[in-house]
Amino acid sequence: MNVEQIYTGCLAQGAYYITSNGEAAIIDPLREVEPYLSRLSKDGVKLKYIFETHFHADFVSGHVDLSRKTGAPIVYGPNATCEFECISASDGQEFKIGDITIKVLHTPGHTMESTTFLLKDETGKDHCIFSGDTLFLGDVGRPDLAQKAAHMTQDELAGLLYDSLNNKIMPLADDVIVYPAHGAGSACGKNMMKETVDTLGNQKKVNYALNQPDKESFVKAVTEGLLPPPAYFGLNVAMNKKGYESFDTVLNNGMRALSSDEFEAAAENTDALILDTRDNTIFYKGFIPQSVNIGLGGDFAPWVGALIVDVKQAILLVTDEGNEEEAVTRLSRVGFDNILGHLKGGFKAWLDSGKEADVVDRITAEQFENEFRPGKDMVLDIRRESEYAAEHIENAYNRPLAYINDWIKDVNPKQHFFLHCAGGYRSMMAASILQARGYRNFTEIAGGFGAITNTNIPRTDFVCQTKVMPA
């Protein structure tokens, strides 16, 4: 028996590859399936089942393509209704893979079909659980995503989650290994540990949610402080339920190389968004007008989902040469399949063709220190609320990047402001979106708050009363 966690940092997501005596199972696969097919071939094993812990909201799974290419059935837990062929297993149902057994433990609460898969080894001993979004390390799944579909409140779903954990998971032995679907950084929970594997016994000790004295306390603890889910989550759920375009087709379209003239014509004749995936330290010096910058070097896919939202949005790509396939692959993981092609030769080809370019007004933290007038100049801090609460520039306004589509309308185009995040990655996204929508009266700060802390700019470590941006 072999159990391998395949962890993808950009999505903070864990897929699982299991083999036993010539047969294999894959749990919660990523969208691109070729790596799994290559691994199956290399190991000389046959894929018997594809298990899905639930209908994922934060990424598009590879279950449909993987089943189509291997013939292996897709297995969900109870209450799963798909628009493709799948097995909706019953609670307690068992599946054999070689000499091991996978047992279905229906654990609703995060979603109604949420299921934990219990692996029993060759001797029949409970070995590990694949807990999906039911149990994380240090946390449990958020109970607010399935309210509409379940016709339940988040408190009612949290109550179901409490029952699932206490009736199905807590009774298992302490030495059972926990393999969750996500780790720290995922928006599917709020308090996840950086580790990606642990024992159930340790989780019983350290996980705040598993240490609540009763259901009422549990419901309050897991629902308190939940931030709104990213807007693209519902669209990914729909794709996971209904199916989607083959990844091969998406990749072929995205790898279509367009000359500068073809790229320009496509931008003018369609409603395509120009997505520039280069590093922010390069982008600001020159880019195609109206481009939005989301760098491949960070949490690219989740930010695309949070900021662009509509997975059907047509996209034209600008990348560093050689990064085209990676960009297309990572876009597809969150359902952005409508990629019309990429700029052949990258931005250099655009410049060489003599076409117009734009820039962002970026200054260093030292320049900011010299220009900034405390009490007079406005500063927008686009970090998360928790980052802002820990320390921020005195009188700065907190406008988290994740909500830019809501707060951008409150920006006064006539009033100049300074813009920063923690290190420059997020503030350049904001700067590009602002300029694409006609706002230009701002200055972005290179290095973000990290660089600002090395200056004498006045800072505070307490949260002031919520400030209303002046009109």
- Domain with 267, as residue range(s), is 246-352
Q: Which of 324, 352, 380 is the last residue of a domain?
A: 352
172 with 263, same domain: the answer is no
Q: Which comes out higher in pLDDT, residue 186 or 54?
A: 54
Number of domains forming the structure of the chain: 3
User: Are residues 79 and 142 in contact, defined by beta-carbon separation less than 8 angstroms?
Assistant: no
277 with 304, same domain: the answer is yes
Closest CA to 325 of 9, 35, 63, 15: 35
| 470: in domain | no
What SS3 class is residue 93? coil
Beta strands at 362-363 and 417-420: parallel, antiparallel or unpaired: unpaired
d(CA 126, CA 128): 6
Above 50 in pLDDT, residue 385? Answer: yes
| 325: in domain | yes
Side-chain half-sphere exposure of 31, counting CA atoms within 13 A? 29
Q: Which of 352, 370, 393 is the last residue of a domain?
A: 352
C-alpha torsion 404→188→60→112, nearest 10: -130
| 29: in domain | yes
Q: Which of 352, 377, 401 is the last residue of a domain?
A: 352
Q: What is the mean pLDDT of residues 69-87?
A: 96
228 with 289, same domain: the answer is no
224 with 110, same domain: the answer is yes
336 with 375, same domain: the answer is no
Closest CA to 48 of 70, 78, 68: 70
pLDDT tens per residue across span 325-341 = 999 999 999 999 999 99
State the pLDDT at residue 28. 98
Neighbours of 329 (CB within 10 A): 18
Above 90 in pLDDT, residue 146? Answer: no
| 395: in domain | yes
Residue 466: pLDDT band with limits 50, 70, 90: very low
- In the structure encoding, which two tokens stand for residue 360, read together? 């962002």
- Residues forming a β-bridge with 15: 6
Above 60 in pLDDT, residue 469? Answer: no
pLDDT tens per residue across span 15-52 = 999 999 999 999 999 999 999 999 999 999 999 999 99
| 430: in domain | yes
111 with 191, same domain: the answer is yes
CATH number for position 133: 3.60.15.10
| 17: in domain | yes
307 with 453, same domain: the answer is no
382 with 447, same domain: the answer is yes
State the pLDDT at residue 465. 44
168 with 279, same domain: the answer is no
209 with 279, same domain: the answer is no
- Residues forming a β-bridge with 18: 3, 25
Q: What is the pTM of this model?
A: 0.93
Residue 463: pLDDT band with limits 50, 70, 90: low
d(CA 133, CA 110): 7
CATH number for position 334: 3.40.250.10
- Residues forming a β-bridge with 319: none
State the pLDDT at residue 462. 60
Q: Which residue type does 325 have?
A: E
256 with 226, same domain: the answer is no
Question: What letters, b where the CB count within 10 A reaches 16 and e where it falls short, cover 79-95?
Answer: bbebeeebbbbeeebeb
d(CA 65, CA 86): 13
Side-chain half-sphere exposure of 133, counting CA atoms within 13 A? 29
Share of the chain above pLDDT 70, in %: 98
State the pLDDT at residue 470. 47
d(CA 359, CA 435): 9
256 with 343, same domain: the answer is yes
| 206: in domain | yes
In angstroms, how far is the first alpha carbon of the chain from the final one?
A: 64
| 88: in domain | yes
